[in-house]
Structure 1
Amino acid sequence: MSYFEAFILALIQGLTEFLPISSSAHLILPSAILGWEDQGLAFDVAVHVGTLLAVVIYFRHEVVTLLTAFLASIFKGDRSKEAKLAWMIVIATIPACLFGYLMKDFIEVYLRSAWVIAATTIIFGLLLWVVDRNAPLRDDEYQAGWKQALMIGIAQAVAMIPGTSRSGATITAALYLGFTREAAARFSFLMSIPIILLAGSYLGAQLITSGEPVHLGFLLTGIITSFISAYLCIYFFLKMISRMGMTPFVIYRLLLGIGLMVFMMLN
Structure 2
Amino acid sequence: MGIFETVVLALLQGITEFLPISSSAHLILPSQMFGWPDQGLAFDVAVHFGTLLAVVAYFRKDLQNMIVGWLTTGFTRTPNDDARLSWMVAIATVPAVVFGLLGEHFIEDNLRSTAVIATTTIIFGIVLGLSDRATVRHNNLAQMTLTLALVIGFAQAMALIPGTSRSGITMTAALFLGFNRVDSARFSFLLSVPLILAAAGLKTLELLQNMDGVDWSMLFLGLAVSGISAWLVISFFLEFIGRIGMLPFVIYRLFLGVVLFAFFV
Q: TM-score range by the shorter chain?
A: over 0.9
Report deviation, 1:207: 0.4
**Displacement of 1:77 after TM fit?**
5.6
TM-score in terms of structure 1 length: 0.97
Q: Please tell me whether residue 199 in structure 1 is matched to residue 223 in structure 2.
A: no
**Residue of structure 2 equivalent to 1:39:** 39
* 1:144-198 deviation per Cα after TM superposition (whole angstroms, max 9, x unaligned): 1001000101111100100000000000000010100000000000010000000
Q: Which residue of 1 aligns with 2:59?
A: 59
- The 5 Å alignment of 1:136-151 reads 136-151=136-151
Distance in 2, matches of 1:43 and 1:188, equals 24
Return the offset for 1:141.
1.4
Map of 1:92 onto structure 2: 92
Equivalents in 1 of 2:16, 2:97: separation in Å? 21
Deviation readout 1:26-60 (Å, 9 max, x if unpaired): 00000011100000111000001100000000001
Quote how far apart the aligned CAs of 1:134 are.
1.5
State whether residues 72 and 78 of structure 1, in contact with CA within 8 Å, keep that contact through their aligned partners in structure 2.
no
Q: Where does the alignment leave 5 or more consecutive residues of structure 1 unmatched?
A: none
CA 212–138 in structure 1, closer or farther in 2 if over 3 Å, else same: farther
- Decide whether the 8 Å contact of 2:74 with 2:83 is kept in 1: no
Deviation at 1:131, TM superposition (A): 1.1
DSSP 3-state at the match of 1:134 = coil
Shift of 1:74: 4.4
| CA distance in 1: counterparts of 2:153 and 2:212, whole angstroms | 33
Q: Is the 8 A contact 2:19 2:167 kept in 1?
A: yes
Check whether the contact 1:135–1:175 (CA below 8 A) recurs between aligned residues. no
| Gaps in structure 2 of 5+ consecutive residues | none
| Pairing 1:28-177 to 2, within 5 Å after superposition | 28-74=28-74, 79-177=79-177
CA contact (8 A) 2:74 2:84 kept: no
User: Aligned AA for 1:218?
Assistant: M
Percent of aligned pairs sharing the same letter: 54
Name the SS for the 2:209 alignment partner: helix
Contact between 2:74 and 2:80, CA under 8 Å: does it hold in 1?
no
Give the counterpart letter for 1:196 in structure 2. I
Q: Which amino acid aligns with 2:142?
A: Y
| Amino acid corresponding to residue 56 of structure 1 in structure 2 | V
Take 1:180 and 1:149, find their aligned partners in 2: how far apart are those partners? 15
SS at match of 2:161: coil
1:262 aligned partner, one-letter code: A
Give the superposition deviation at 1:140: 1.0
